[in-house]
Structure 1
Amino acid sequence: MTSFTGKVVTVTGAASGMGLATAKLLCSRGALLSLADIRKDHLDAALSQITESNQCPDNTNILTFGVDIRKSEEVDSWIDATVKHFGRLDGAANVAGVLGKSFGTGSLTEIDDQEFDFITGVNFKGLFNCLRAELRVISKGGSIVNASSSTGLEGHPKNSVYSATKHAVIGLTKSAAGEFGEQGIRVNCVAPGTIKTPMVTAIGGLNKDNMSSVFARVPLKRMGEADEAAKVFVFLLSDESSYMTGATVVVDGGLLC
């Protein structure tokens, strides 16, 4: 198990779900954390969850920021403040994302401009803003991990915009990996399937009937847990994956088999 003692790592979407689970695991391994979420109040509540853990009782090595990743100036300010405080950046987990109100129910022809702009703004432009800011300052040998989705690897009817953004994340990850590999910087991607997070369980279009049809396609016959995905994010951030870059690691219980 790789130690992150002395390593500075940023995490977006850290107030809940996979982002929070990733922050908890990194903290338990000694990382110095800079956490961001659009809801600072939720993030501060999440901080108490992290520090109340016996594995990570000290919050003096954790910074929290309210950041709307769609706004490049907020992202740049957050990354600059992180480097100013800790003196460096060694890793980043870009986990923040949205499903959108149309997820699972909206035909492509029915999605309005506002919904399109919201989903693409967070899932692609927002992640791009983060990746760009991180690459400007990350140390040689650093690692960045982006959140895509299993829907980024196949077409997904009635999830067209969400699926398109997750395809875009994979393309951006590969391009960045090819460009920055010579500097010893690795950029990889995690593609989760259906993971039990507040965002997923809140989807109005998901109910007992259609979730049963989803599980029928999953060999493991269940949702994934946030900490199961977090372990993959942390593996890709660690030196244990030192010869991996441009890769997309699928965590979907076998959905895409």
Structure 2
Amino acid sequence: MFAASQIILVTGASSGIGRAIALECNAQGATVLACGRDDLKLDEGRKAAHAPERWTSIRRDFFEHMEKIPQWLHEISQRHGRLWGMACAAGEGLMDSMQAYSLATARRHFDLNFHVPLLLAKGFCDRRVSVKGGALLFVSSASAVFPEKGHLIYGAAKAALTAAARSISQEVAPRGLRVHCLSPGIVDTPMQEKAEALMGPEYRQSQLQEYPFGFGRPEDVAHMAAFLLSDKAAWITGQNFVLAGGRY
């Protein structure tokens, strides 16, 4: 699907969906720059990769020096070559309510789930950073399209990201760049495990009843992500794909 010359940066590659996307793109032939906050987990990902020689681990905490993210992307491209694709999978979940609304919490989650992806997009869409024909992929959430109780701030941040992706896609189309959104429902990841630990054992069973095909696996999202990042999706841009095992 990819050539080794096609370089794909994946954020949130330490675990969950980001790790699965990085492994899938690597297995499909791409050179992957796997970015995350946990050096040990990134190294475990490299060891699990189909072609470890096409996997480079990059540690970054996006809460640090956020304003320098576009410049950081330029430095990445100078060091490793211009990017074919980027998958923005770094994020943080939150179970909350209107009664528990906190401005400080909301700002933190909007920073990571909305502002960081847009700063990454600004850097990626620089002509010095990406190549014509490439693609930018945002990992959003089904909560952006089908908001539910308990997903107030998280759903709102992801809804903002999904709307922004549509606008960006129209802006960069003349340059030959594609922009996509993937909005998964419940996927068995470490982030989901934290939610279940908070909500109790009944939560998992009640949610499973809503998914005819069960909860997703990170690989289910990664297969679609790799397709959208590849030139097999050359005629697709500006769309939001909901992956939810038949729930919606």
After superposition, give the CA deviation of every residue in 1:57-82 in whole Å (9 maximum; x if it has no partner): 326x5141323157434423431222
Q: What TM-score do you get using the length of structure 1 for normalisation?
A: 0.89
Q: Structure 1: 5+ residue runs without aligned partners?
A: none
5 Å-filtered alignment, 1:15-26, equals: 15-26=14-25
After superposition, give the CA deviation of every residue in 1:185-206 in whole Å (9 maximum; x if it has no partner): 0000000110111111112333
1:127 is displaced (CA, Å) by: 1.1
Following the alignment from structure 2 to structure 1, what is the Cα–Cα distance between the partners of residues 80 and 30? 11
Distance 1:9 1:83, change over 3 A: same
1:177 aligns with 2:194: no
Alignment RMSD (CA, Å):
1.7
1:89 to 83, 88, 91: 83
1:246 aligns with 2:241: no
Following the alignment from structure 1 to structure 2, what is the Cα–Cα distance between the partners of residues 119 and 54? 30
Following the alignment from structure 2 to structure 1, what is the Cα–Cα distance between the partners of residues 212 and 3? 34
Question: Which residue of the partner structure matches residue 33 of structure 1?
Answer: 32
Greater shift in the superposed pair: 205-214 or 177-186 = 205-214
Paired residues of 1:36 and 1:67 also in contact (CA < 8 A): no
Q: Secondary structure at the match of 1:217?
A: coil
Question: Which residue of the partner structure matches residue 164 of structure 1?
Answer: 156
1:6 is displaced (CA, Å) by: 0.9
Following the alignment from structure 1 to structure 2, what is the Cα–Cα distance between the partners of residues 54 and 33? 10
Paired residues of 2:46 and 2:57 also in contact (CA < 8 A): no
Question: Which residue of the partner structure matches residue 187 of structure 1?
Answer: 179
5 Å-filtered alignment, 1:1-257, equals: 2-37=1-36, 39=37, 42=38, 44-53=39-48, 55-58=50-53, 61-68=55-62, 71-100=65-94, 103=95, 106-136=96-126, 137-203=129-195, 204-220=197-213, 222-256=214-248
Q: Secondary structure at the match of 1:64?
A: strand
The residue identity in structure 1 corresponding to 2:169 is A
The residue identity in structure 1 corresponding to 2:52 is P
Paired residues of 2:71 and 2:123 also in contact (CA < 8 A): no
Following the alignment from structure 2 to structure 1, what is the Cα–Cα distance between the partners of residues 102 and 89? 25
Distance 1:78 1:35, change over 3 A: farther
Q: Structure 2: 5+ residue runs without aligned partners?
A: none
After superposition, give the CA deviation of every residue in 1:212-240 in whole Å (9 maximum; x if it has no partner): 111111111x2111111111111110111
The residue identity in structure 1 corresponding to 2:143 is T
Paired residues of 1:14 and 1:96 also in contact (CA < 8 A): yes
Paired residues of 1:148 and 1:166 also in contact (CA < 8 A): yes
Distance 1:144 1:54, change over 3 A: closer
Following the alignment from structure 1 to structure 2, what is the Cα–Cα distance between the partners of residues 141 and 198? 33
Percent identical pairs in the alignment equals 25
Following the alignment from structure 2 to structure 1, what is the Cα–Cα distance between the partners of residues 65 and 247? 34
Greater shift in the superposed pair: 229-238 or 81-90 = 81-90
The residue identity in structure 2 corresponding to 1:218 is Y
